[in-house]
Structure 1
């Protein structure tokens, strides 16, 4: 099992590593679903922790539909993040009719320098997620999808999550569950869905508030629970 934790600042990054996170997703604007963090934060986080740092590349929170200028901005951000020494990139893009934007992927993925890419929760706006998974499998840099298996919390879509996991089994793209997961029920969620990677943000913070710091005790307890799962 892999435990990925959102970090929005240096204190988060250090606390996440110290209390059992296997990987960071580095973002800003957590209440907007995550945007590209400042390059200064990326550089410092990469140098401060030993666990992989995956960096969000998302230019705005209006939608996941991006025009030419947005794609150019994302391209510049990817190049800077790669240069900063990040371990991976997190991105996503959709067409106006809620399909994977392959035009955007073909423009951006060659810039990732061979780093693994996570396709983020733009995936949860697709009308056909199984079809979307097949589309993403065509692109070797994309190694995983972060998804709640629908528009709501992951805990409300466990049968759908299981279907995604089964569809992805043996393929190049892993399924990472995120959004609405609860530390106290993670073992049951994993048992029912078969996921091998989980993503936590607000649930490991004080008061389960996205704008609060990481709660070391909550994260350590979760990490121990994840280790027991296997």
Structure 2
């Protein structure tokens, strides 16, 4: 069982590691669904972390239909991640018809070389998730992150179960979106997944003493992955897995 944390800063990544996360997806702007972090953040995270580090490759918010210039940006970001010694990257490109854009994805994956590749939640916007899963497998991705084409993984759990069964261990299917200590046991039981994705964040109050009224909403404090939330999710996942293992052994 692995809990991956979407960390929106180096501080969040370190909090996730302290809380027992098994892997980091480093990004920025979680409120936009996540964007590619700066080279400095990537390098610093790689220096500080001892657990696997994957980096989100997404040049802008919005859909996953990208121009040639955006694809070149992503390719260069991937090359920078490889140079920094990251364990993998997280990417996804669709065509205008809602299919996985195989040529563009192949180009990006080629740039990743021997690094691992996760196909991100662009998957949830595909026209036919079952067909898209075969495309992602054909690309050679290690895993696909999905909410089961719903707003949250718990809502999409039935489809996620179908994807896990269809994958036949050819790829890891990782539920994400709204994953918490309260529902991770149910997600494990319903989907049969072995990897899970969460942000587990909380807001840290601003330390600014001077807060002009005009700028109050700009100084609400930083959102950061929370050590205790992560520990609670890891513990809940471990307990659910042990209970499932005992039941299987009976």
* The one of 201, 205, 215 aligned to 1:205: 201
What do residues 67-115 of structure 1 show as CA deviations (whole Å, max 9, x unaligned)?
1111111111110111011110000000001000012112211110211
Q: What is the Cα deviation at residue 170 of structure 1?
A: 2.6
Stretch of structure 1 that moved more, 116-125 or 149-158: 149-158
Judge conservation of contact 1:125–1:151 (CA < 8 Å) in 2: no
Q: 5+ unaligned residues in a row in structure 2: which ranges?
A: 205-221, 242-250
1:80-95 equivalences in 2 (<5 Å): 80-95=80-95
Stretch of structure 1 that moved more, 211-220 or 120-129: 211-220
Judge conservation of contact 2:13–2:225 (CA < 8 Å) in 1: no
CA distance in 1, matches of 2:176, 2:169: 21
Equivalent residue number for residue 224 of structure 1: 235
1:46-125 equivalences in 2 (<5 Å): 46-125=46-125
* The one of 172, 175, 189 aligned to 1:174: 172
Q: 5+ unaligned residues in a row in structure 1: which ranges?
A: none
The 1:227/1:67 distance shift into structure 2, 3 A limit, reads same
- Aligned to 1:183, the other structure's residue is in SS state coil
- Aligned to 2:173, the other structure's residue is in SS state strand
For the aligned residue pairs, the C-alpha RMSD in angstroms reads: 1.6
CA distance in 2, matches of 1:181, 1:9: 19
1:117-156 equivalences in 2 (<5 Å): 117-140=117-140, 142-156=141-155
CA distance in 2, matches of 1:222, 1:151: 21
Number of aligned residues: 225
CA distance in 1, matches of 2:106, 2:23: 26
Equivalent residue number for residue 187 of structure 1: 185
Q: What is the Cα deviation at residue 62 of structure 1?
A: 2.8
CA distance in 2, matches of 1:109, 1:12: 27
Q: What is the Cα deviation at residue 133 of structure 1?
A: 0.6
CA distance in 2, matches of 1:139, 1:214: 31
- Higher radius of gyration, 1 or 2: 2
> Are 1:14 and 2:25 an aligned pair?
no
Judge conservation of contact 2:154–2:183 (CA < 8 Å) in 1: no
The 1:155/1:207 distance shift into structure 2, 3 A limit, reads farther
Q: What is the Cα deviation at residue 184 of structure 1?
A: 1.2
